[in-house]
């Protein structure tokens, strides 16, 4: 963590504080269980609003909450050594590898989250854009009129939805949100390096021509930070920039923290009963 960011998360008025969690790479089921456990803790008013950064190991295909599992070729996915998990949020398939993921969780009546889904999306996007600009990327929000239609592909990064982040005409950071009466969870994926079209290798197609067509489309519509900057951005560097961007754009203050014992207990329960269970992950 840089000295500037370190100084911005210490000795802060409690009314402005958000908890900052920075976690190492973990399996997909654990990552999703932690995000939901934090949402449960927010609902129970046990913890302050929370900004979390994390990574994935091994690589994992995540499905949107209501995405049919038939969209993934499970045999090809297994042969490639990728895990599979279903997110508590919507959207389409993402291959999580060589990336930094953020999650942000707060109560629905928090100033950042109140109103409609797209209202909070836009506010959070201001923070994400500010963070990416700290890295030297001329990022901006996609138009609010962008919508995902019924004929979109199974790959999440092909087309930016409303207020997702683009740079040089290509999607660079995609997000999804789960809004409940007691908590709002939004998380999103920032690819750092590598080939974004790898997700195509584990999706299901009627023929290989369709697979290659999506691969070409994805390559033209999405980008990693390495592609945009011509250099490698490390996980730690991305975390510092995005955290500082949130502080700058959203007027929040960050204090480094850890999961509570209750959140750890809920994480273990959610992994065993939901995110590692076929009844959730393999739903049609």
Q: Can you give the residue ranges of every domain in the chain?
A: 3-258
Residues 6+ apart with CB under 8 A from 23: 34, 52, 53, 54, 55
pLDDT of 250-276, one tens digit each? 999 999 999 999 999 999 999 999 999
Residues 6+ apart with CB under 8 A from 119: none
Q: Which residues of the chain have pLDDT under 70?
A: 1-15, 145-161
Residues 6+ apart with CB under 8 A from 170: 220, 221, 222, 223, 228
> What's residue 145's pLDDT?
65
pLDDT of 87-123, one tens digit each? 999 999 999 999 999 999 999 999 999 898 999 999 9
Distances (CA, A) of 45 to 50, 124, 271: 12, 21, 22
Q: Which CATH class is domain 3-258?
A: alpha beta
> What's residue 160's pLDDT?
59
* Alpha helical stretches, state H, 70-157: 74-79, 117-134
> What's residue 171's pLDDT?
94
The three-point CA angle 214-218-224 to 5° equals 155
Start-to-end Cα distance in the chain:
42
Instruction: State both tokens at 226.
Output: 């390495």
Quick check: 140 and 249 in contact, CB under 8 A?
Answer: no
Catalytic residue of the set 156, 167, 192, 223: 156
Q: Is 156 a catalytic residue?
A: yes
Nearest to 177 by CA among 244, 260, 119: 119
């Amino acid at each position: 963590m840089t000295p500037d960011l370190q100084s911005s998360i210490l000795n802060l008025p409690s009314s402005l504080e958000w908890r900052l969690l920075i976690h190492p790479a973990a399996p997909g089921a654990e990552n999703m269980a932690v995000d939901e456990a934090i949402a449960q803790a927010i609902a129970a008013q046990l913890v302050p609003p929370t900004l979390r950064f994390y990574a994935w190991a091994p690589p994992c295909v995540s499905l949107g909450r209501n995405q049919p599992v038939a969209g993934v070729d499970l045999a090809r996915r297994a042969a490639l050594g990728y895990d599979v998990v279903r997110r508590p949020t919507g959207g389409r398939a993402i291959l999580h590898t060589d990336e930094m993921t953020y999650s942000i969780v707060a109560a629905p009546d928090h100033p950042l989250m109140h109103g409609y889904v797209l209202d909070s999306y836009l506010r959070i996007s201001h923070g994400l854009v500010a963070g990416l600009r700290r890295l030297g990327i001329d990022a901006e929000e996609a138009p609010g009129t962008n919508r995902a239609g019924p004929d979109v592909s199974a790959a999440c990064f092909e087309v930016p939805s409303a207020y997702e982040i683009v740079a040089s005409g290509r999607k660079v950071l995609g997000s999804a949100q789960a809004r409940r009466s007691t908590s709002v969870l939004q998380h999103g994926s920032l690819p750092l390096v590598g080939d974004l079209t790898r997700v195509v290798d584990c999706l299901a197609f009627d023929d290989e021509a369709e697979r290659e067509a999506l691969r070409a489309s994805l390559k033209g519509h999405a980008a990693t930070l390495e592609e945009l900057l011509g250099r490698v951005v490390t996980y730690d560097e991305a975390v510092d920039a995005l955290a500082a961007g949130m502080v700058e754009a959203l007027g929040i203050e960050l204090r480094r923290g850890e999961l509570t014992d209750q959140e750890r207990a809920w994480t273990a329960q959610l992994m065993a009963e939901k995110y590692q269970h076929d009844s959730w992950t393999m739903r049609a």
